[in-house]
Amino acid sequence: MTDPAEEPEELLELWARVFALAREGQSETLAAYVDAGVSPNLTNDKGDTLVMLAAYHGHVATVRALLQRGADPNRLNDRGQSPLAGAVFKDEPEIVKALLDAGADPAAGQPSALDTARMFGNTAMLDLLRPEA
C-alpha cells in the first residue's frame, strides 16, 4: 500500500466510503464497488481488510459477498489477527461458517481463532473450528 499522504484526496475519500460500507454491512453497494475494480483485499492503515471489518461487525452477507469476489479469508491485519479470530471473538457462528467454507485456517494468526475460542471457553466455536473432534 502506498503512503496515504501521497494519495489524491478523492481516492482517500473513496477508500473511507468503501471501508464504511464494510463496517455497516452495505453488501450490495460494496459488492458493486468491488465489481467495478476495488480490490476485495483492500486494507486500511491498520492492515484490516474489508472482510475483516465486515466479519468483526457481524455482517455475514457482506462477508459472503466479499469472499465470492476473491477476498482472502486468511489475510492477517498488522497485529497478526485473522478475520476468523475476530468472528470467534464476537461470537458470530454464521460468519465463522462462511469463512471456514472459504478456506479460513483456524490456526492462523495471533491469537488464532482456536486460541480465541479456548481463551473464552467457547465450546460451540471450538466445535465449529474442529468439526472432526
Q: What CATH number did the domain enclosing 95 receive?
A: 1.25.40.20
Q: Which residues contact 101 (CB under 8 A, 6 or more apart)?
A: none
What distance lies between CA 118 and its chain's CA centroid?
21
Q: Is the pTM of this model over 0.75?
A: yes
Say how many domains are in the chain: 1
pLDDT digits (tens, 9 = 90+) for 27-71: 999 999 999 999 999 999 999 999 999 999 999 999 999 999 999
Residue 119 structural domain: 4-129
Cell of 56: 468483526
Q: pLDDT for 70-101, tens place per residue? A: 999 999 999 999 999 999 999 999 999 999 99
C-alpha atoms less than 13 angstroms from C-alpha of 45 in its C-beta half-sphere: 7
Alpha-carbon span 16 to 132, nearest angstrom: 41
